[in-house]
Amino acid sequence: MPLTLPEIRDNCAKARLRMQQARDEHWAFGAFNLDDQATLKAVCRAAQKMNAPVLVEVSQGEVDDIGLWNVRDLVDNYKQEYGIEIYINLDHSPSVEAAKDGIEAGFEFIHIDVSQANHDATDEEIVAATREVVAYAQLTGALVESEPHYFGGSSNVHTETIDYDVVKQTFSTPDGARAFVEATGIDTFAAAIGNLHGKYPVPKVLDLELLKQIRGAINCNISLHGGSGTPGHYFRDAVAIGVTKVNINSDMRFAYRTTLEKILKEHPDEYATAKLISKDVVDAVQAVVESKLVDLNSAGKAVVN
């Protein structure tokens, strides 16, 4: 059953308060991609076991596959079943219209990212689109996230190494972050400090000194995209500095696929693959989520109404 507007506003108000508490108390939300019902179950089980608040998120591909309203209903059903604190983030929404749809569907977090769909989008176009979403989000109080430029990589398992000379060209700057936040009024700034979408054969290296400078330059929330393949000590330090949201996707997908391939080989005569996924794959993905919740210092921080 769809949420009423007052219920959506209550959820968004709580999410906004909890983000501030995360910053004050030095923990962060893990934002975990929802590829299917199995990954949602894995996140919910981890949240319940660790008593941790979580976000699940969908990008346009998952929206096209599952549907915004179906995602809302699934999450609400599992929220009640598991008795957990959970919110939904619309990740890398490619257009103002798509972001507005997420707001109307009751998502508590909205990431508008027109540069993802159009790498050649101008600064003016990015700012204008972000401002329009920020204004529309007043309908529900949803928290709006954005960044001033295209963020590299892809949510996949990469075989190439990371060319940091290239990556550094897109690093955030304190002055740039301040100017973008002031121009748009966003709630959350997606910082680029060495984080990169996807899982690579080498560990990622985050510029924590730059993060400290960005934290000192802006007064809104800070998120880190591309959290997969990042040594946990970086997350622990980033949370201490003031990051309150970290996106994880490829690590989960890697665990999902490699586990599924393994059990399919072990059970060549089993065609009810849902049984294998429920038994083994969910456990493997859940273990990934649990490890991130520990690194983000969010275990034991859930507030369940």
Q: What is the set of active-site residues? A: 91
Measuring CA to CA, which residue among 188, 185, 295 is closest to residue 238? Answer: 295
d(CA 13, CA 27): 19
102's tokens? 């997420």
Long-range contact set of residues 175-179: C-beta below 8 Å, sequence gap at least 24: 175/217, 176/148, 177/148, 177/214, 177/217, 177/218, 178/217, 178/218
Spatial CB neighbours of 111, under 8 Å, sequence gap ≥ 6: 57, 89, 90, 91, 92, 93, 144, 145, 146, 188, 190
Collapsing DSSP states into helix, strand and coil, what is residue 51? coil
